[in-house]
Amino acid sequence: MIEHIDLSLINWSRAQFALTAMYHWLFVPLTLGLAFIVAIMETIYVRTGDVEWKKITKFWMILFGINFAIGVSTGIILEFEFGTNWSNYSWFVGDIFGAPLAIEGIMAFFMESTFIAVMFFGWNKVSKKFHLLSSWLTAFGANLSALWILVANGWMQYPVGMQFNPDTARNEMMNFWDVIFSPIGINKFLHTITSAYVLSAIFVVGISAWFLIRKRHILFSKRSIIVASVFGLVSSLYLVWSGDGSAYQVAQKQPMKLAAMEGLYNGQKSAGIIVFGVLNPEKEYTNDEEPHLFKMEIPKLLSFLGYRNADAFVPGIKDIIEGGYEYLDENGKKQSAISTDEKIERGKIALASLAKYKEAKDAGNDSLKIAHRKTLEENFQYFGYGFLNDPKSIVPNIPLVFYSFHIMVALAFWFILIFVLALYFVYKDQIVTKKWFLRLAFLTIPLAYIAQQCGWIVAEVGRQPWVIQDIMPTVAAVSQIDTRAVQITFFLFLIVFTGLLIAEISIMSKQIKTGPKDS
């Protein structure tokens, strides 16, 4: 199907999309969480009438607005790239992937843009309760935007609710609700937004700690820390729970990603989960080198988390490539996994059947058309493998996924500790005197952003080479455009996005140094 594959074009297109997505995700998490924190603070103001809470609300609302305004631009560019750099993908699944994005634009975006105006400019023009309602609706609108985008991403990880139409060579949506309520999509949404809430809470605690270090706005800072720490602690605990759900879904639907997350080359029964480890750079799935130079693990936990059975077999990279291990299908029946070589062969049969179907259709041969369509449908689940030639190509970048996953998990528990200590020191009225903790809290802000980026690296690099799991690899999804055009726009975006980031940090830093103003 693909006569010539320009690897340089693929790599530059992936790099450009990764650049845009990672910059975009520097802005989005703070928007998602800070909107709710602001709404909570304003709720306290409306209920108590304490003007100090109004001052607190207005300060964090301004930082929310700065971040929201700059973050919108990167998101718009990200969506345009589906048409410019990934047009084959957009054609192949546009009927499905486009629906959540359209809903996001029509429903959530307009909901945000309508009520955000009241939120910022309606303080003395509408009643307190209506203004409060606008703040809450802005927060819900921002999170609804995330819902539709993450549902679309979850569908790419586990395509459901669709049927391939050989007449158009496109996938068509058959069940909207299957797409929306896909278990991977729901888990991805819940896990992603709660991670954003944790980042926002860390941001508020860290900036408040900065004020306390300088002995400024003491009451403001204490109250901000209480709200953010409670919000962050609850979110962190839920984050752990949703992370468990996400890992379970990965084990069921994307076993290669799970193997990469743990650096698991050879499958094991009663597999343990690695708490800390260093990969052996010499290890390949084809040699007998030890996978890790050093590791600390909790016995049986990976089997339990991945399969809800402490003695379950967890396939490794070698097992997934060579096949032969047993697993339970969606109906609970035991199946024997086939090798990647066989999947590639079946994928090529699917591609050939599609071509023969079109020939039979053009020739008006209905019997051949029916036969080829049946062969296509029997092998369609391996359709994407037909574009591959080497079984090794289904192995993602193991070190990048492994270290990103473990950094993300370690930081999640660090954030829980920060929230617990913050609440404890406020309760004991010692928060102002604990300079070491205040400095730690402030320095934790960049760690929250690192954890966010690590999470997306695990999710997206871990599923390579797939754009749509098992159905379409990156080699088939990319637009056939000039590589130099992608290179030029890559560096243009790098300059523009870096400028936006510097501008945001500069504006927000200036606003923070100015501090809250009296209402």
* Average pLDDT of the residues in 179-186: 87
Write phi, then psi, for 163 (nearest 5 degrees): -145, 135
Among 34, 77, 80, residue whose Cα is nearest residue 58: 34
Helix spans in 364-397 (H): 366-379
Q: Tokens 């990764």 sit at which residue? A: 18
Confidence of residue 180 (pLDDT cuts 50, 70, 90): confident
Among 392, 394, 370, 371, residue whose Cα is nearest residue 382: 394
Confidence of residue 149 (pLDDT cuts 50, 70, 90): confident
Angle between helices 218-253 and 398-427 (to 10 degrees): 150
Kindly state the DSSP code that residue 270 receives in the 8-state scheme: S
Give the pLDDT score at 122: 87
Q: 389 with 257: CB under 8 angstroms?
A: no
Give the pLDDT score at 288: 87
pLDDT digits 0-9 by tens, 463-517: 999 999 999 999 999 998 899 999 999 999 999 999 999 999 999 999 999 999 8
Among 438, 447, 423, 458, residue whose Cα is nearest residue 234: 423
* Average pLDDT of the residues in 134-155: 89
Type of residue at 254? Q
The whole-angstrom separation of Cα 40 and Cα 232 is: 13
On the CB side of 231, CA atoms within 13 Å amount to: 29
Q: 203 with 505: CB under 8 angstroms?
A: no
pLDDT of 176 > 90? The answer is no
Give the pLDDT score at 394: 95
* Average pLDDT of the residues in 100-107: 75
3-state secondary structure of 17: helix
Give the pLDDT score at 109: 66
Give the pLDDT score at 1: 45
Among 97, 149, 156, residue whose Cα is nearest residue 469: 156
The set of residues, in sequence order, having a beta carbon less than 8 Å from that of 490 and lying 6+ positions away, is 12, 15, 16, 19
What's the Cα-to-Cα distance from 478 to each of 172, 219, 484, 485, rounded to whole Å?
20, 54, 14, 14
Share of the chain above pLDDT 70, in %: 98
Give the pLDDT score at 107: 67
- If one compares 208 and 95, the residue with the highest pLDDT of the two is 208
pLDDT of 346 > 70? The answer is yes
From 29-38, 71-80, 139-148, the region with the lowest mean pLDDT: 71-80
Type of residue at 296? M
Residue 237 CA to its chain's centroid (Å): 18
pLDDT digits 0-9 by tens, 226-277: 999 999 999 999 999 999 988 899 999 999 999 999 999 999 999 999 999 9
* Average pLDDT of the residues in 118-133: 90
* Average pLDDT of the residues in 411-439: 96
Among 385, 381, 455, 387, residue whose Cα is nearest residue 415: 455
pLDDT of 417 > 80? The answer is yes
Confidence of residue 73 (pLDDT cuts 50, 70, 90): confident
Q: Tokens 């749509």 sit at which residue? A: 468
What's the Cα-to-Cα distance from 281 to each of 71, 301, 319, rounded to whole Å?
38, 25, 20
Give the pLDDT score at 151: 87
Q: 63 with 444: CB under 8 angstroms?
A: no
Confidence of residue 185 (pLDDT cuts 50, 70, 90): confident
Q: Domain residue spans in the chain?
A: 7-254+397-461+463-509, 259-336, 340-387
Kindly report the length of the chain.
Answer: 519
Query: Burial, 291: exposed, middle or buried (Cβ in 10 Å; 0-12, 13-18, 19+)?
Result: buried
Give the pLDDT score at 519: 58
